[in-house]
Structure 1
């Protein structure tokens, strides 16, 4: 993927994530006071909103890091081993920072 296309896709992703994070942060379920009658269901909704916010924030960080790699000229290279990240991986996940092998090793360590 060429740098201009990657930048455009990453910036679109960043804008969408920012919108999603804004919605999640302003979610009335997460900020309203809970009544004793529906505390169980509200807690579940609040937990779900918090989890979605965590995922969106983590994804946003990955996109911002990918834009930095574009600026530095290292986009498309694995941050661990320096090998080229396969084109198909970048098409599917423009924010990918690792080749398939290094990503697999990282996930197995978790």
Structure 2
């Protein structure tokens, strides 16, 4: 993927993530009196909203890191081994910072 296309896709992702994060924060901030029977459902919803907010924030950080790699001229290189990240992986995940092999190793360690 060429640099201009990568930047455009990453910046679009960043705008969409910022909108999602703003909406999720608004949902998490809604408070009010609830019936006792609603408390459990409300807690489950709050946990779900927080999990979505955490995931969106992690992805936003990955997008920002990818934009930084673009600026530094190292976008598309694995941060672990330095090999090129396959084009197909970047097409699917423009924010990807590792080749498939290094990403697999990282996930196995977790």
Same fold (TM over 0.5): yes
| Structure 2 partner of 1:93 | 93
Identify unmatched segments of 5+ residues in structure 2: none
Per the normalisation by structure 1, the TM-score is 0.95
Runs of 4+ in 1 over 6 A off after TM superposition: none
| Structure 2 partner of 1:42 | 42
Cα shift at 1:81: 0.4
Query: May I ask how many residue pairs the two structures share in their alignment?
Result: 109
SS of the equivalent of 2:90 reads: helix
CA RMSD of aligned residues (A): 1.1
Cα shift at 1:30: 4.5
* Aligned counterparts of 1:37 and 1:104: Cα–Cα separation in 2: 44
The CA deviation string for residues 38-87 of structure 1, in whole angstroms up to 9 with x for no partner, is: 10000011110000000000000000000000000000000000000000
Identify unmatched segments of 5+ residues in structure 1: none
Assess if the C-alpha contact under 8 Å between 1:66 and 1:75 holds in 2.
Answer: yes
Per the normalisation by structure 2, the TM-score is 0.95
* Aligned counterparts of 1:82 and 1:33: Cα–Cα separation in 2: 52
